[in-house]
Amino acid sequence: MSSAYRNLTVLEHAGVVNRVITKEDFGRYELAEELTEHHHHLVCSSCGLVRDLLSDVDAERLMSLAMRRATEQGFTPATHRLDIVGLCAGCSARKPAQPRTRASV
């Protein structure tokens, strides 16, 4: 375990940084939302890049509906996380074009 990683673990326990779970489940860290603005994430499933996506009114409306569903199940929602998983610009540029199956029908 590197010292940088160990320091981040300490910060995580102190609530300063949050762990962002990616497809590979390796820890990615960022400043807690208490210190930044509420935002969502773009997660590249190929290289693991995580970028911030500023939330918008439509997304927040949808997520507030989902949080209301949680209330119906006796859960008390505090906040939410929204990760959009896909390919970053770099990885999608490297990927060969997908065959357009729908167009061939």
Binding positions for Zn ion, rule: CB under 5 A: 44, 46-47, 49, 55, 63, 88, 91
Residue with tokens 């509420």: 38
Task: Identify which of residues 6 and 68 has a Cβ nearer to Zn ion in the complex.
Answer: 68
Closer to Zn ion at the Cβ: 65 or 105? 65
Minimum distance of Zn ion from residue 75's CB (angstroms): 17
For the CB of residue 56, give the shortest distance to Zn ion in the complex, in Å.
9
DSSP string, 5-51: HHHHHHHHHTTSEEEEE-TT--EEEEE-TTTS--EEEEEETTT--EE
Q: How far is CA 89 from CA 5, 19, 54, 79, in A?
A: 27, 23, 17, 29
Residue among 9 and 55 whose Cβ is closer to Zn ion = 55
Nearest approach in angstroms of CB 35 to Zn ion is 16
